[in-house]
Chains A and B, each alone.
Chain A
């Protein structure tokens, strides 16, 4: 190793940032015919149709999260967790995209094929 910052270091940084970008964008290349949103909590899964505009409040691990489905987009309106990462996550609409609330152990995912769906509510 050298002791001064050299050109390869910038390549290394760039490579990692590109990797981050690729992982971030990967869901967009996924399923575009996604029709359902799956909310997973401590107690199990619930699946809702993307076509129905509605608000759902789920509770898990002593936190509650309010999820809104509108115009086939899903986002978190409100959450009782401390960091509010889920609220700031923005809207998801493509198959495979996920919003996670780690303190509440809740994940909200867009899923597509009929095979993913065991039952649907609404």
Chain B
């Protein structure tokens, strides 16, 4: 399954995936989602597409690195010290879910299910961090809405990846 044929190929793949993840995050940051969904702290979750692909194209470990580096870079460029922690919290739980899914249930879901579950995990992770920061109960009020919206977007992203993945597997390095 992993596409990398040697270490250099793997390094290049990681770098490419990281760049794409950063671009997706940037586009996401600019996109005025609050015009459609009048709730703050919502994200389209586009970067998750890349991370999911990374887990299955390269490996779980590569995906972990790509995700964490993306969070830090985006936080440094566009965020503030507080938002980095929220992104981290969400990313960590999301990554954990992806790793567990790959290890134990790799053939049971298509990317739609994987995307939905990792998006939900991302939200739960963010809420847990926010609760630790601000105090109990208050932020939990957000969670149901976050979960519902992320399920919709997660399903869409998952369907996208379902479509892309076979094409990616066909990519070969030119000798």
Contacts and interface: CB of A to CB of B under 8 A. Distances in A.
On whether the two chains bind one another, the answer is yes
Interface of A: 1-6, 8-9, 11-13, 15-17, 19-21, 23-24, 40, 82-85, 96, 98-100, 102-103, 107, 109
Q: Is the interface of B mostly helix, strand, loop or mixed?
A: helix
Contacts of A20: 143-145, 147-148, 151
A9 B144 contact: no
Given A2-B109, A3-B166, A24-B144, A109 B138 contact: yes
Interface residues of B, number: 37
B138 A100 contact: yes
B63 interface: no
B141 interface: yes
Give the dominant DSSP class at A's interface.
mixed
B138 A1 contact: no
Nearest to A108: B138
B144 A8 contact: no
Nearest to A18: B147
A98 B142 CA distance: 10
